[in-house]
Structure 1
Amino acid sequence: MTALTIAVVARRVGFLYRLATVGEPAPERIAYARANIGAEIKAQLVEVFGQKKLLKWTPSGVAHFFVMWAFFILLTVYVEAYGAMIQGAITGRPDFHIPLIGRWPALGFLQDFIALAALLGLVAFAVIRIKNAPSKLGRNSRFSGSHLGGAWVILFMIFNIIWSLFLFRAAAINTGNFPYESGAFVSELVARILPTSSLLEEIALLLHIGLMLVFAVIVVNSKHLHIFTAPLNVLFSRRPDGMGAAQEMRSGGKVLDFEEADPETDVFGRGKIEETTWKGFLDFYTCTECGRCQSQCPAWNTDKPLSPKMLILDQRDHAFAVAPYLLMSEEQRAHAGQDVLALLEKPLVGEQGVIHPDVLWSCTNCGACVEQCPVDIEHIDHILDMRRYQVMIESAFPSEAGVMLKNLENKGNPWGMPEMKRAEWIEELDFEVEIVDEKMPEDTEYLFWVGCAGALEDRAKKTTKAVAELLHIAGVKFAVLGPMEACTGDPARRLGMEFLFNMLAQQNIETLNEAGVKKIVATCPHCFNTLANEYPQLGGHFEVVHHTQLLSHLVDTGKLTPITPIEEKITYHDPCFLGRHNKVYSQPRDIMAKVPGVTTQEMHRHKDRGFCCGAGGARMWMEERIGKRINTERVDEALTTDPDTVSTACPFCLVMLGDAINEKKNTGKAKETLEVVDVAQLLIKSIKG
C-alpha cells in the first residue's frame, strides 16, 4: 500500500513540476531567497508555523492552527505505527516505541491533545462553511466560486484519520503494546469501551495507515496540495509582502531591455498560460480557495466581476486543461486532438478568454488580496503581467485610459496641461519657494516632489500649499522642480504600459541626479511608492519620505506645534499605496492625535483592512461602469461614523472621496458641512488658527 501510494504521489508531483517549469524562469526568486536566508527563515517561522496571517481571522485561524500542527506532531504517530507493523512482523510483538523519547508521557499527551484539537477544528470548519455557504449568502460568501465538494471530502478524510488513530491507540493500550503508560488521555478513555483483541489492534492499525495513504493521494490531486506548496510559496514570495514596487518586466528570466527587445521573440507580459513564471504556477497550486482575498476586494464588494480568488483558479484550471499539450514533444503535438488544440487557442484575456477583460480592468491594485492571502499569492503580479500584454501587444484597454497615456507622453502629466502650470500654486503663497534651476541649493534639505495632482488639481493643491507652509514654519529648507517635474509614471505602469513608465522614470531619474537630489518628500502615495520602491529598479536611489512621516517627526520634535483646537469628529481613510503598500499607518493618526479638540473614529475597515477609494491601478482615469462606485461604497462606510470631517493623506483619495460626498450632499444623505481634507490641512489650520 505504501509503495503504491508513493508511486502515485511521485507521478503527480513530477507532473506538477514539469508543468510549472514549462513557464518562464524566475531566477530572481531563487537569488533573493539565497541572499536573504535570515528573512526567509523568519517568514517560515512566522507565516507557516506561526500562522500569522490566518490568525488575523481568529475563529478559523485558531482552528487551522491546530489542524496544521496536527499534521506535524502526528508524524510521530506514523513512526510508531510503521514501527509497530515492522516489529510485529519480525518479533510478533508490535510494541515499538521511538528511541529515547518514545515512552515519554508528555509525547503521548501531546499526540492525543493535538488530535482532539484538530477534531474540534474540523467541527469549527464545518460550522464556518455551513454558516457562510454560497447557497445562503450568494456572492457575499467568501466561498463563492470555490470547489466546495473537494473541501468537504478533505474534512471527511481528516475526520476518518483522527478517529482511526484513537481506535488503534486504544486497542494497543488494551493489548499492552502501547508505548506510553500515561498521558494519552483520549486513547485511554476509548480503550475503556473496547474489548482486548490483537486482531482489532491489527485491523485498526492497517485501517489508520490505509486512510492516511488514501488521504495523501487525494491531497496531491486537490486544493489541499497547499499543505506542501505553501511553505515553498512563502519561501519564494516577494519581500516584505509582495507589494510596494511592481515587478520588473522580464523575458527569459532577464529584465527586458526595451532598446533591444523584439516583440517576435521576447515575452511582453502574459498572453498565454505558458508565459506564466514557475512562481505563478506555484501560486496556482497553493491557492486554498479560502476566499479571504475575495471578501476584501473592493471590486468584488461593489458587484464587479473581479474576484482575486477566481482570477487564480481560472488560470489554474486552464493550465491543467492544456497541460497535456504543454507537456507534449513536438512530434506528439503534431498528432494532438482538436479539443486540446482548441483549448490552446483560447486567449488568456478576452471576451471568450480565460479571463474576461472586465475582470482585468476592475483591479485598483489596492493590495487587499495580497495582504490577506495566508499563503502569499501575488495577485497583483498576475494582473499587471496580463495588462502589459493587453496594452503593449494587443492595444486592448479602456479608451479613456488611452487619452491619459497620450497626455503622459506629450505633456508629462495625465491631464495634458502645460508644464508651466506646475508652478502656479506657488503664486498663492506669501513666501518664496525655491525652484530648482540646475542644481539643488546647498542649504536645501528636501526636494518637495509636488506630483501631477498636487500641482494641477485644485483640491490637491490645497494639500500642496499646506505642506509647503508647514515646512516653511518648521524651518525646513526645501525646493521644487516646477516645470522640470514630470509624472513619475505610476499610472502608466499600473495600466500596463511599461515602456512609457520606463521613459518617464529615466527622464526623472536623470533630472534628479543632475540636480544632486538626495532626499525627497512627496504628498502623493503613488509618487512616494514609485520614487522610493520602483525607481531603484532603474538606478534611481533616493531617500524618500511621505509628507505625513515628515510632519509627524516635526511635531514630535517641537518644530511644529498645533495650538488652536479643532472641535471635530474625524474619521481617517487609509490610502492603499501609503498603508498596505508601504505600511504607513501610524504617522497620519499621530498628527491628528496631536491636534487639540480632534475626536477620531475609525471606520470598520481600516489600516491593513482599509477599503480602496477606487483610484489606484490607473482607475483614476477610467470610467467605472459596472456595479456600485467604489468611492461611494467607501463614503457610505465613512458616514456610519457620523463624522464632521473625513481626512486622508492622498490627492487621489481626496478627489474620489470628495466627489462621492458631493453626490451624497446633493441627495441629502450627507450634511452640507462635511468635507474631505488632508491631515496636513488639519495641522496647518490648528497651527495658524
Structure 2
Amino acid sequence: MLSLLNLLAFLALSGYAVYLFVQVVYTRYLFVKLGKKAEFEPNLKERITALLVNGFGQRKLFKDKKSGYMHLVLFYTFFIIQVGLIELIIKGFIKGYEFPFGEGHKYFSLLQEWATFLMLLAVLYGLYRRYGEKLKRLQWKRNGKAAFVYIALSILTTSILLSLGFEAIMLDHEPNLTYAPFSGAIALLFSGVGSTAGTVIFYIFWWMHMITVFSFMVFVPQSKQAHELFAMINIFFKKTGPVGKLRKIDFEDEDAEEFGVGKIENFTQQQLIDLYACAECGRCTNMCPASVTGKTLSPMELIVKMRDHLTEKGAVITSRSPWVPSYVFGSRASSLSSMAGLAEQQTAATLEMPNLIGDVITEEELWACTTCRNCEDQCPVSNEHVDKIIDLRRYLVMTEGNMPQEATRYFQNIERQSNPWGINRKERIKWREEFNDVVVPTVNEVEEFEYLFWVGSMGSFDKRSQKIVHSFAKIMNSAGVSFAILGNEERNSGDTARRMGNEFLFQQLCQENIANFQAYGVKKIITIDPHAFNTFKNEYPEFGLEAEVFHHTELIWKWIQEGSIKPVKEVREAIAYHDSCYLGRYNNIYDIPRQILKSIRGVKILEMERNREDAMCCGAGGGRMWIEETQGKRINVERTEQALKLSPTMIGSNCPYCLTMLSDGTKALEAEEQVKTMDIAEIVARSLAG
C-alpha cells in the first residue's frame, strides 16, 4: 500500500512539474517567435565547430580559468548525474534496483559517486566566489535566485549520496568504499541505525532529492539558469561569417514603416534567443570600457532588461491560454497576462507597455557603446550585444531623427564634404604638398598600380595622422611598391556612420566608393585605418566589392619577410603595445604587429595587463571619437594609465583613432614629454636606412 501511495505521489508531482516546465519553455518559444525571421545560412561545419569548441569545450569560460574549471566540472558531471537519476528514481519503487550493467555496474557506481562529489565541490566553490570572494561581476543584482541555485544544487548532490548511503543500510549491504567511496562512508558512519530506520531515512532523502529536482526543473526556464536550455541553441544558430558584421537594411522595401529597432519584437528571432541564453555572469560588463569608466551602459543589464521586457510584452501579445499558470511569465508579466485573460476583448495594443527605448533602455546607454566587441568576445554563450545596440541607434537616427548634437554635425559634415570636420573636400590631397621626400601618385597620375592606398579622412585631414601616412608612403617607396591614391576623389568609408546608426548614409557612401573602385580597376586596397579595413574587407563585399583588402601592418610584415624592406637602424624604445579593436577582436590580427616590432633592433615590447583579445578600447569606436564623454572617467585616460603602469618610453598602436586617443591621454596625464605615441609604420620608418 505504501509503495502504491509512493508511486502515485511521485507520478502526480513529476507530472505536474513536467507540465509546468513544458509550459514555461513553450511560452519562451512563443516569445522568441515574435521576432522577425532572419536568413539562416547552413554553414554546418562552422556551426558544429562552434558548438564543439564553445559549447562542449567551454572555451570562452576559460578566460577566467577558475570559473572555467568550475563550470567544466558542473557541465559534464550534470550529464552523468542525470543517468544516475533514472536509476535512483527506480530505486524508490524497486528495492535494491541496479542498472543491468553486470560487473560494469561497480564502475558506473564509482563514476557516479565521484561525479556527484565533484559537482558538490564545484557548487561550494561557486558559492565562495560569489559570497566569499565577492567577485564584482557577480554582485550586480542582489536577489534570492542565485542563492536558490546554490542551495538546490547542494541539496541535489548531497541527497544522492545520502540516499545511496542509507540504501545500503536498508538492504543490509556491506559498505563498499572502493566503488562507492562517499555513500559507503555514510553507510559505515550510520550503520548502527538498523535497516528499518535506514529505510525511513532513505525515503526521506529520496523524496528530498525528487522534490528538489522537480522544483529546480520548473525554476530553470524562469531564471538566468535558462541559459542551460538556450546556450547550445544560441551557439549553434549564431550568425556566421565575419564577427561583428552588421545586418543590411533593405531601403527598397516599400512595406517598411520604420528603420532600425524600436520595439522588442522587431529584433530577429536569433537576436531574441540571445536574451534567454544570457547566464548573467557579468563577464561582458566586467570588460566593457564604458562600464568600467562609470558610464550607464552595462552590456549584461542591457540584455537582462530586454529579456524581461520581452517576457512581459510577450505575455500580453500572445494572450496566454487560461490553463497556463500565470507565474510562468514572471513578475510584472503575470499581472499583464492576467489582464489579457480577464478582458479578452481588450487587445494587447491597448495595454500600456513601457517603451523599449526610453523606458527599458536609455539613450545614454546606447550612445555610450564604443562597439569594441569586448563584451561579445567574453560571452561564454556567444551573445551579440553590439548589433542590438546599433539596431536601436538606427531607430533613433533614421526613424526618430533623435541623436546627440555631435552626431548630427558629424552626419552633416560627411554628407556635405565627406569628412568629419566639414573641411572642403578639395583639400583632401593637400597633405601631399608637405611631404616632398616621398612619391605618392594619384590614380590619374599613373597608368597602372597594384595597390590603391586608402588614406582615409584621418590620414587626409588630421595633422597627427598625416605623419602616419607619410611614414607608410616612405615604407612603400622603399619596398618598390606600385600604388596610387584617389586624392580628392576619395570619400569617407562610412564605417563610423554605420556604427552611429545612419545606415542610409553608409550605404550611399559604400555604393559610391565601390563605383569608384570599379572605375579605376582596383583589385587590392591597403589602408592604415582598421575601421576602414574592417568595413571594406567584411561588409563591402555584400554590396558588390571584389577586391583584396589589407591593413598596412599585414603588408609591412610581408615586405620584411620578403626582404623588400630591411629594418637596419636600432630603435631603442620600450613600447607598450596597444591592440586596436577593429584589427584585433574584429579581424583576429594580433601577432603581425608584434612580429614587426620584434624585427626592429632595440625595441622591447611591453604587454599591458589587458592585451590581445582582452585589450581595452581606446574609446574612439562606434562614433565616440566625435561625441564628448560627459559621464565618468574618460576611456582614453583609463587606457593610457594602463600603459603608463609599465613605465614605457613609447606607446605603440596600429590605428590613427587609437593614436589620437592615446596621445590625448598622455597629455591629460602630463606624460607627453616622457612617453611618445607612435604608429607601427612610424616606428618601422625610423628603422629604415636613408
Q: Same fold (TM over 0.5)?
A: yes
Structure 1 residues 597-652: Cα deviation after superposition (integer angstroms, max 9, x where no partner): 01111111111111111110011111111111111111111111111111100010
Q: Percent identity?
A: 36
Question: Do 2:438 and 2:470's aligned partners in 1 also have CA atoms closer than 8 Å?
Answer: no
Aligned counterpart for 1:563 among listed residues 559, 568, 574: 568
Matches within 5 A, 1:520-599: 520-599=525-604
Aligned-pair distance for 1:64?
1.3
1:24 aligns with 2:36: yes
Aligned counterpart for 2:98 among listed residues 96, 99, 103: 96
* Residue in 1 that maps onto 2:271: 280
Aligned counterpart for 1:621 among listed residues 622, 626, 634: 626
1:317 aligns with 2:308: yes
Aligned counterpart for 1:192 among listed residues 188, 211, 214: 188
* Residue in 1 that maps onto 2:127: 126
Gaps of 5+ in 1: 135-140, 250-255
Aligned-pair distance for 1:324?
2.8
For structure 1, which segment, 314-323 or 522-531, has the greater mean C-alpha deviation from structure 2 after superposition?
Answer: 314-323
For structure 1, which segment, 498-507 or 283-292, has the greater mean C-alpha deviation from structure 2 after superposition?
Answer: 283-292
Aligned-pair distance for 1:342?
8.1
Question: Do 2:438 and 2:473's aligned partners in 1 also have CA atoms closer than 8 Å?
Answer: no
* Residue in 2 that maps onto 1:346: 354
Change (3 A) 1:247 1:106: farther
Change (3 A) 1:244 1:19: closer
Number of equivalent positions = 654
Residues in 2 aligned to 1:546 and 1:399: alpha-carbon distance in whole angstroms: 32
* Residue in 1 that maps onto 2:244: 244
Question: Do 1:170 and 1:187's aligned partners in 2 also have CA atoms closer than 8 Å?
Answer: yes
Change (3 A) 1:411 1:188: same
Structure 1 residues 10-34: Cα deviation after superposition (integer angstroms, max 9, x where no partner): 11111111111112222x2xx22xx
Aligned-pair distance for 1:282?
1.2
Aligned-pair distance for 1:247?
2.4
Instruction: Give, as a single letter, the amino acid of the residue that structure 2 aligns with 1:61.
Output: G
Residues in 2 aligned to 1:105 and 1:383: alpha-carbon distance in whole angstroms: 54
Instruction: Give, as a single letter, the amino acid of the residue that structure 2 aligns with 1:595.
Output: I
1:54 aligns with 2:55: no
For structure 1, which segment, 35-44 or 57-66, has the greater mean C-alpha deviation from structure 2 after superposition?
Answer: 35-44
- Aligned partner of residue 72 in structure 1, secondary structure: helix
Question: Do 2:608 and 2:643's aligned partners in 1 also have CA atoms closer than 8 Å?
Answer: yes
Change (3 A) 1:334 1:125: closer
Instruction: Give, as a single letter, the amino acid of the residue that structure 2 aligns with 1:95.
Output: Y
Residues in 1 aligned to 2:141 and 2:113: alpha-carbon distance in whole angstroms: 32
Residues in 2 aligned to 1:46 and 1:274: alpha-carbon distance in whole angstroms: 31
Gaps of 5+ in 2: 1-12, 321-336
Structure 1 residues 170-226: Cα deviation after superposition (integer angstroms, max 9, x where no partner): 233342789999523222222212344344434433332332121111112211011
Change (3 A) 1:569 1:550: same
Question: Do 2:663 and 2:672's aligned partners in 1 also have CA atoms closer than 8 Å?
Answer: no
Residues in 2 aligned to 1:454 and 1:55: alpha-carbon distance in whole angstroms: 39
Question: Do 2:175 and 2:188's aligned partners in 1 also have CA atoms closer than 8 Å?
Answer: no
Instruction: Give, as a single letter, the amino acid of the residue that structure 2 aligns with 1:110.
Output: L
Aligned counterpart for 2:612 among listed residues 573, 584, 607: 607
1:220 aligns with 2:221: yes
Question: Do 1:321 and 1:343's aligned partners in 2 also have CA atoms closer than 8 Å?
Answer: no
Instruction: Give, as a single letter, the amino acid of the residue that structure 1 aligns with 2:559.
Output: L
Question: Do 1:103 and 1:180's aligned partners in 2 also have CA atoms closer than 8 Å?
Answer: no
Aligned-pair distance for 1:243?
3.0
1:291 aligns with 2:282: yes
Change (3 A) 1:561 1:243: same
* Residue in 1 that maps onto 2:331: none
Residues in 2 aligned to 1:456 and 1:534: alpha-carbon distance in whole angstroms: 25
1:372 aligns with 2:378: yes
1:2 aligns with 2:3: no
Matches within 5 A, 1:74-89: 74-85=81-92, 88=94
Aligned counterpart for 2:294 among listed residues 277, 298, 303: 303
Residues in 1 aligned to 2:202 and 2:579: alpha-carbon distance in whole angstroms: 60
- Aligned partner of residue 652 in structure 2, secondary structure: strand
Instruction: Give, as a single letter, the amino acid of the residue that structure 1 aligns with 2:149.
Output: I
Aligned-pair distance for 1:489?
0.5
Aligned-pair distance for 1:286?
1.3
Aligned-pair distance for 1:277?
2.0
TM-score (norm. length: structure 2): 0.90
Instruction: Give, as a single letter, the amino acid of the residue that structure 2 aligns with 1:77.
Output: G
1:155 aligns with 2:163: no
Question: Do 1:364 and 1:617's aligned partners in 2 also have CA atoms closer than 8 Å?
Answer: yes
Structure 1 residues 219-274: Cα deviation after superposition (integer angstroms, max 9, x where no partner): 1221101111100111111336x73322223xxxxxx2x1344553xx41111122
Instruction: Give, as a single letter, the amino acid of the residue that structure 2 aligns with 1:259.
Output: E
* Residue in 1 that maps onto 2:117: 116
Structure 1 residues 556-590: Cα deviation after superposition (integer angstroms, max 9, x where no partner): 22222111111111101111111111111111111
Change (3 A) 1:59 1:332: closer
- Aligned partner of residue 300 in structure 1, secondary structure: helix
* Residue in 1 that maps onto 2:462: 457
Question: Do 1:304 and 1:627's aligned partners in 2 also have CA atoms closer than 8 Å?
Answer: yes
Change (3 A) 1:325 1:651: same
Residues in 2 aligned to 1:362 and 1:181: alpha-carbon distance in whole angstroms: 59
Aligned-pair distance for 1:334?
11
Change (3 A) 1:554 1:177: farther
* Residue in 1 that maps onto 2:401: 395
Residues in 2 aligned to 1:51 and 1:625: alpha-carbon distance in whole angstroms: 38
Aligned-pair distance for 1:516?
1.5
Structure 1 residues 344-388: Cα deviation after superposition (integer angstroms, max 9, x where no partner): 4432112xx211111110000011100101111110011011000
Change (3 A) 1:78 1:334: closer
